[in-house]
Amino acid sequence: MPTRHHWMVRVTHWVNAFALTLMVASGLRIFNAYPAFARKGETFCCYPFAGHPVPDWLTFGGWLAGARHWHFAAMWLLVANGLAYLGFVYLHGEWRDLVPRRGQLRDAWEMLRFYLFVRKDHPHQGKHNALQRAAYFALPVFGAVAVVSGIAIWKPVTLGWLTRLLGGYVWARYWHFLAMLAIVALSAVHVFMVFAVDPYSLRGMITGGYDEAKSPEARNARPFWWRRPAPAAAPSAPEAK
C-alpha cells in the first residue's frame, strides 16, 4: 500500500493537535480572568458577550497563573512544530498540494455543488480537493495572525510598535481571539469531514498507508452518504486443458 503522508507530516500533525488543544483551552482560561475586551469604564464595539465567561469545561489551567504557564509552554511547542512542518513541506515540495492554484474557486464551487447533491459525480481531485486545499492553506495564515497578535499582547511595551500596528492592546487582543476562533472552526470542520466523508484517511495519518480505492472520489462520498467500494474480484480458476 503506498504511503500517503510522510512520517514528518504525521508527527507534526498530531503534535499540532495536542499543542493547539492546550493553547485554546488555556487561552480561554486566561480570557475568563477578564471576559471582555473594553477596558473598565469603556465599551467595545464588536463583542456582545462581554462579562460572560467561557464555560469552565472548555478551559484548562485551573487559574490565571497556571493557565499562563501552560499557554506559553504550548506556544513554543506549537511555533517550533509549525516551523518544522512548514520547512518540511517547502523543502519536500508538498506545498504544491496546499497552495491555491488556477481554477481554485471553480473547483471549490463544484465540490459545494456535489456536497449539496446538485452535482451527481464527485469532482476529480488530487491528494486534496479544492475545499481541503483552501482550509489547509488558511490554517497557517490564521496561525501566523495568532502568533503575531499574541506577541503583541504579551509584550505591549517592549513591542509597542507592533501593538500599535494592530490597533492598540484592545484590538490586538481581539485579533488574537478571532484568529483562535477561525482556527477552531477550521479544525472542527476538518475533524467532522474526516469522519463524515473519509474515515479511511485516519489510517493514512497514523501509519501513512492509504487505499486509493477507498478515497472519497472512488466512493462518490458526501457527508455520511457514500458508496462502499466494491470488493476485489476473486482470481479466476485456470482453464482446464
Taking the C-alpha atoms of residue 35 and residue 28, their distance in angstroms, rounded to an integer, is 9
Burial, 91: exposed, middle or buried (Cβ in 10 Å; 0-12, 13-18, 19+)?
Answer: exposed
Which amino acid makes up residue 146?
Answer: A
Domain 7-219 has CATH 3.30.70.980: no
Judge whether 85 and 16 are in contact, CB under 8 Å: yes
pLDDT tens digits for range 43-54: 899 999 999 999
> Which of 190 and 232 is assigned the larger pLDDT?
190
Extract the C-alpha cell encoding 144. Answer: 501566523
pLDDT tens-digit series, residues 126-178? 788 889 988 988 998 999 999 999 999 999 999 999 999 999 999 999 999 99
Residue 241 pLDDT: 47
Written as one string, the DSSP assignment of 57-99 is GG--SSSHHHHHHHHHHHHHHHHHHHHHHHHHHHHHSGGGGTS
pLDDT score recorded for residue 229: 54
pLDDT in tens, 78-123: 999 999 998 998 888 888 878 878 888 899 999 999 999 999 999 9
Residue for grid cell 478515497 = 215
How does 95-133 read in b/e, with b if 16+ C-beta sit within 10 Å? eeebeeeeeeeebbebbeebbeeeeeebbebeeebbbbb
Q: How many CA atoms lie within 13 A of 100 on its CB side?
A: 14
Residue 17 reports pLDDT greater than 80: yes
